[in-house]
A and B are shown apart, each in its own frame.
Chain A
Amino acid sequence: MEASTALAFALPIGLAMAAFGSAIGLSKAISAAMEAMGRQPEVADKIQTAMIIGCAFIEALTIYAFVSVFLLSGKIH
Chain B
Amino acid sequence: MAEARAHWIFVGIALLAWLICPTLAWASGGEGEEHPELPNLIHLLYKALGGAEGHAPGWINTLYHFQDVFFALLVTGVIILIVRLGTRNPTLIPGPAQNVVELFIERFHSFICGILGPKEGRRYVPFLGTLFLYIWWMNLFGLIPLMKSPTAVLSTTAALACCVFLFVQFTGMRRLGVLGYIHHLAGSPQDVVGWALVPLMLPLHIIGEIAKPVSLSLRLFGNILGEDVLLGVFAGLGVAILAFTKLPVGVPLHVPFILLALLMSTVQALVFTLLSTIYIMQMLPHEHEERAASR
Q: Which residues of B contact A32 (CB under 8 A)?
A: none
Q: Please measure, in the bound complex, the distance between the C-alpha atom of A63 and the C-alpha atom of B216, giving whole angstroms.
A: 11
B contacts with A, residue count (CB < 8 A): 18
* CB nearest neighbor in B for A45: B114
Closest A residue by C-beta to B218: A67
Contact A53 B223 (CB under 8 A): no
Inter-subunit contact A67/B221 (CB<8 Å): yes
How many angstroms between the C-alpha atoms of A71 and B205 in the bound complex? 29
Q: Does chain A have a CB within 8 A of B123?
A: no
- The proximity string for A residues 63-74 relative to B, scoring 1 for CB distances below 8 Å and 0 otherwise, is 110110010001
A64 to B274, CA, bound (A): 20
Task: Find out whether the CB atom of A53 lies under 8 angstroms from the CB atom of B219.
Answer: no
Least Cβ distance of B282 to chain A in Å?
Answer: 12
Decide if A10 is an interface residue (CB 8 Å cutoff).
no
- The smallest beta-carbon distance between A12 and chain B, in angstroms, is 14
Across-interface contacts of A52 in B (CB, < 8 A):
267, 270-271, 274
Interface size classification for chain A: 10 to 19
The answer on a CB contact under 8 Å between B218 and A63 is yes
Most chain B CB inside 10 Å of its own CB: which residue of A52, A56, A70, A74:
A56
**Which residues of A have CB within 8 Å of B35?**
70
- The one of A46, A60, A70, A74 in contact with B225, judged by C-beta atoms closer than 8 angstroms, is A70
* Residue A40 at the chain B interface, CB threshold 8 Å: no
Residues of B within 8 A of A64 (CB): 218, 222
Does B182 count as interface, using CB distance less than 8 angstroms? no
Tell me, rounded to whole Å, the shortest Cβ–Cβ distance linking A47 to chain B. Answer: 12
**Of the residues B34, B222, B271, contact of A66 by C-beta under 8 Å:** B222
A56 and B275: CB pair below 8 A? yes
Can you list 17 pairs linking A and B with CB atoms under 8 Å apart? A45-B114, A46-B114, A49-B114, A52-B267, A52-B270, A53-B271, A53-B274, A53-B275, A56-B271, A56-B274, A59-B219, A60-B215, A63-B219, A64-B218, A66-B226, A67-B218, A70-B35
Footprint of B on A, CB under 8 Å? Answer: 45-46, 49, 52-53, 56, 59-60, 63-64, 66-67, 70, 74
